[in-house]
Amino acid sequence: MSEITLDTLKPGDLAKITKVRVKGHTRRKLFDMGMVAGSEIELIRKAPLGDPIEFRIKGYNLSIRKDEARQIFVHII
């Protein structure tokens, strides 16, 4: 299974997080919000201007910027 980054998903794509490469403070926050390895994540939609992106994870909706999404690795399931 090939690893891709979270920002390359399309609306409706379901994936599983494999690695969070974000550094520092933001890393902590992402963990707290459920962005941990093994979590299932679905891309719901992109904002009208293309960024941020809204995901569904752990049963709720979370939006993050592409900058962070690019550093989160997933594989499609």
Partner 1 sequence: MENNKIRVALAGNPNVGKTTLFNAITGSRQHVGNWPGVTVEKKSGTKIYKGYEIEIIDLPGTYSLTAYSMDEIVARDFIIEEKPDIVIQIVDASNLERNLYLTTQLMELQTEMIIALNMCDLALERGDKLYLDKMEEILAAPVVKTVASRNIGIEELLDKVIEEKNNEQYHGHEIGYGDEIEGMILEIEKVLIADQELADRYPLRWISIRLLEGDMNVMEKISKSPASVAINDLLDSIDQEEYEADIADKRYETINAIFPQLCTRCNVKLSKSDMIDRVLTNKYLGIPIFLALMWGAFELTFAFATPFTGMIEIGFTWLANIVADSLQPAWLASLIGDGIIGGVGAVLTFVPNIFILFFLLSLLEGSGYLSRAAFIMDRLMYKIGMHGKSFIPMLMGFGCNVPAIMATRSIEDEKDRLITILVVPFVSCGARLPIYILFAGTFFGRQAGTVVFMMYVLGIAVAVASAKLLRATLVKGKPAPFIMEMPPYRVPTLKTSLIHMWDNGAMYIKKAGSIILLGVVIIWLLASFPWGIEYGSEASYVGMIGHIFEPVMEPLGFDWKITVSLIFGFVAKEIVVASMGVLFGVGDNPEALTQSLIADPAITALSSLSLMVFSLLYMPCVATLGVIKKETGSWKWTLFALIYGVTIAWIIAFIVYQGGKLLGY
Write down the least CB distance from residue 13 to partner 1, Å. 15
- How far apart CA 8 and CA 21 sit, in angstroms, is 16
Write down the least CB distance from residue 19 to partner 1, Å. 9
> Phi/psi at 38 (nearest 5 deg)?
100, -20
Q: Which residues contact 33 (CB under 8 A, 6 or more apart)?
A: 57, 62
| Closer Cβ to partner 1, 16 or 27, answer by number | 27
**Which residues would be at the binding site for partner 1 (CB under 8 A)?**
20, 25-34, 36-39, 44-52, 54, 58-65, 67-68
| Closer Cβ to partner 1, 61 or 75, answer by number | 61
Evaluated on CA atoms 31, 36, 42, 47, the torsion sign reads positive
| Closer Cβ to partner 1, 4 or 44, answer by number | 44
